[in-house]
Amino acid sequence: MQYFTVEQANRTLPLVRRIVADIVQTYERWQDAVRAFELASVASGAEQSAEAEERQREAQRLAEDIAGFVRELEALGVEFKGYDVGLVDFPARSGDRTVYLCWQLGEPEVRYWHELNGGFAGRQPIDALAFA
């Protein structure tokens, strides 16, 4: 596992920000495509219509795009946590324990951290933590 310092995490943010924005935007389009597929499926009854098949292919393509973006983040060592809000965690070390540096789309820099099982609700300001 790769560990980040606050400075390293902030240096990766320009790229992470672009990837996360792509995920959030594509996720919204995927949700719309799934709804359109469901509506077309209901309207077509027992046999799937050409429109429903096309909507299903579009939803699958968007899901594949999202999975590709998530793999890009994973390749950077970043963990993606929130499709709707663009939440990511950067593994870090504080003394002898692993914690997450936490960033959300729209924030100017990495300013928060939380315990591995603390999640977004457990976010605390970085200045409250000593990093190794």
What are phi and psi for residue 75, nearest 5 degrees? -65, -30
Q: Is the pLDDT of residue 46 over 60?
A: no
Tally of domains in the chain = 1
Q: Which amino acid is at 124?
A: Q
pLDDT in tens, 50-104: 888 898 999 999 999 999 999 999 999 999 999 989 999 999 998 889 999 999 9
pTM above 0.85, yes or no: yes
The percentage of the chain sitting over the pLDDT mark of 90, rounded to a whole number, equals 70
Q: What is the pLDDT of residue 41?
A: 82
Rounded CA separation 64/68 (Å): 6
Rounded CA separation 123/113 (Å): 5
What are phi and psi for residue 104, nearest 5 degrees? -125, 140
CB 130 within 8 A of CB 92: no
pLDDT in tens, 5-18: 999 999 999 999 99
If you write DSSP's letter for every residue of 73-113 in order, what string do you get?
HHHHTPEEEETTTTEEEEEEEETTEEEEEEEETT-SS--EE
Question: Which domain covers residue 100, as residue numbers?
Answer: 1-132
